[in-house]
Amino acid sequence: MTPTAHPPPADDGGTTEPTVVLRVHLAGPAPRTAPPPDATPMRVVTDGAVYVFDPDTMTALRLPRDGTELRRDGEPLALLSWPDPVVGRGMELQLQVREDGVPTVRFTSAVRQVQRYPAPPPTEDTP
């Protein structure tokens, strides 16, 4: 990491009071990664919710089981990366929940069941 020069102090209006300046760097919209080529739709049951993942649309749908509701439950949310659930462990989900493009990371309770569904058969329009 290369050190950077500090900008000159801001004019604080001539006060003699100590001031604190916090510089915050907010990343832009997070890039989405494609799901693995062998990804298929799946339903994941955790202690607190049921998740439905769709690789074609790269979305996740959360349906609460324990009464705990989160913002935008029941709506398909854009996934920024494809999850790899493991029974007995929680998942880390990178989602697009906010309208301003800042990504949201959610951690789930322990996974209890993973149901993977076969990919839909090709239609006449797909090779």
Going by C-alpha positions, the residue among 35, 81, 78, 80 that lies closest to residue 55 is: 35
pLDDT value at position 26?
A: 60
Going by C-alpha positions, the residue among 11, 31, 126, 35 that lies closest to residue 84 is: 35
Domain limits, the chain = 42-116
Predicted structure pTM score: 0.71
Cα dihedral sign, 83-89-94-98: positive
Under-70 pLDDT residues of the chain: 1-19, 21-30, 119-127
Q: What is the pLDDT of residues 86-99, one digit of tens each?
A: 999 999 999 999 88
pLDDT value at position 127?
A: 46
Q: What is the rounded distance in angstroms from the CA atom of residue 78 to the CA atom of residue 73?
A: 13
Q: Which residues pair with 92 in a beta bridge?
A: 107
pLDDT value at position 81?
A: 94
